[in-house]
Amino acid sequence: MSGVPFEGLFNRIIKYLNPISNDLKGDFYGTVARENALRTIVLSVIYILLNTQLSLFGRSSFLKENNYRLFIRVFLLFAIVYSIYRLKQTKLVSHWIEQAFTAFYCFVLIFTSLMTSQFLLVRIGSMSIFIVTILATSAFLIRRPLVSILTNISAFLFFVFTLDHVSRLFDKFAKNRPTLAPRLPEAIRFEVYVTELLLVTVVSCAIAVIMYRFRVKVFMDHKIIEEKNSTLTQLAMQDSMTQLLNHKAIYDLLTQEIQRTMRYSLPLSVLLIDIDHFKSVNDTYGHQTGDEVIKKIAEILRQTCRETDYIGRYGGEEFLILLTNTTLEQAQKFSERVRSNIENADFGAPSPITISGGLNTYKGENAKVLVHNADEALYLAKTKGRNRIEISN
């Protein structure tokens, strides 16, 4: 039993690092492969120019004659040719091959830049080429987070384990050319670089994870929009007055979203809102004015919601909003923004028009229970004075 909490924590970490579901991995990495191919061309051209500059104009025989520079030039040229070939292909090869190529490309780029930087460290005390490379590959090329982390940490450990060799080169260079050696106290000479590279490694790992998760979120949002547009074309869903989804359409879509939430392990929230004292608006100003209020609120909702959200007219003066891929905390901020926008809008009435709302986040229930719980939260908001959003327990 003692291993269960650790197993749960491990699974949460893995899910955080790689949030894409298994059935979408092929499509996701296929999409990313074409983006990485173009970026690989750009990076390769830059590093070929840098490599050529060091080889032609470097004063050291090491920079001019070291054999690995020929290897890296050939490798970068191959990467350019392969990436151009991939961009011209309409059918993507196995996403495993694409990921392996990108991972190996970053590995070679990082470790060759580290070897160059080790020599420059001895000469001028600079590790800038390695620092720029490890940050650029983390931010520019999309890889699995674990691959990025392992590559970056391996490069740092390689530097630490070869520190004695670098130190001997430094001592030899300082002895032969004391006026050109970097001016650092003996006791902190390489400790400074180790600390600096450790910080850069941690930052680069964080950047790689953030960029990966951001790309996954963009991909998932596009998938939701595609499915949403596909579904909208299949059904007659509009409410004639507001041009929003009608009651049946929004309820059917909620059922579909619950299925997708279960399949992809994404968060889902629903917001049910009702216009406060709407009967008195109709009684005082007439039904035509009441209709205009409903239309105005529908427009505010359209302007406030994202493309990935669904908005439906659930009843006479009730609206149901499906917040896809949205956690409870995010839904709370959105709900308050909706409430505030409606309260501050100009409806041409002597007193402000306000709404009350009930918010519920999917916790495994079916569509009927999910809406029912949101409705109970809405009723609670009414009893507490209206013009507020309550959260379902």
The model's pLDDT over 138-161, given as tens digits with 9 standing for 90+, comes to 998 988 888 999 999 999 998 888
Question: Which stretches within the chain are classed as H helix?
Answer: 3-17, 22-57, 61-65, 68-88, 95-124, 128-140, 145-161, 163-176, 189-232, 247-264, 278-285, 287-304, 328-343, 367-383
**Domains, in order of start, for the chain:** 3-224 (no CATH), 235-391 (3.30.70.270)
Q: Are strands 389-391 and 355-361 parallel, antiparallel or unpaired?
A: parallel
Burial (CB count <10 Å: 0-12, 13-18, 19+), residue 183: exposed
What one-letter code names the amino acid at 257? E
Using alpha carbons, list the distances in angstroms from residue 54 to 58, 75, 326: 5, 17, 50
pLDDT digits (tens, 9 = 90+) for 311-336: 999 988 999 999 999 999 999 999 99
d(CA 260, CA 268): 10
| Contact present, 321 and 301 (Cβ < 8 Å) | yes
> Encoding tokens for residue 34?
């074409």
Number of Cβ atoms within 10 Å of the Cβ of 315: 11
pLDDT at 189: 59
How far apart CA 189 and CA 183 sit, in angstroms, is 9
pLDDT at 233: 61
Report yes or no on whether pTM surpasses 0.85.
Answer: no
Residue type, 296: K
* Location of structure tokens 């104009």: 57
Q: Which two tokens stand for residue 197?
A: 């590279």
pLDDT of residue 64: 43
Amino acid at 367: A
Residue 29: the pLDDT is 81
> In the structure encoding, which two tokens stand for residue 275, read together?
């216009």
Distances (CA, A) of 382 to 79, 275, 329, 375: 63, 10, 22, 11
Amino acid at 124: I
**Ranges of the chain with pLDDT below 70:** 1-11, 13-18, 54-71, 87-95, 122-123, 167, 169-190, 231-236
Calculate ∠ Cα 330-331-334, nearest 5°: 90
- Those residues whose C-beta lies under 8 Å from the C-beta of residue 321, and which sit 6 or more positions away, are 270, 271, 272, 273, 301, 305, 309, 310, 311, 312, 338
Q: What does the alpha-carbon distance between residue 114 and residue 112 come to, in Å, rounded to a whole number?
A: 5
| pLDDT the model gives residue 65 | 43
Q: Give the C-alpha separation, 237 to 231, whole Å.
A: 10
> How big is the CA angle at 314 (ends 310 and 315), to the nearest 5 degrees?
155
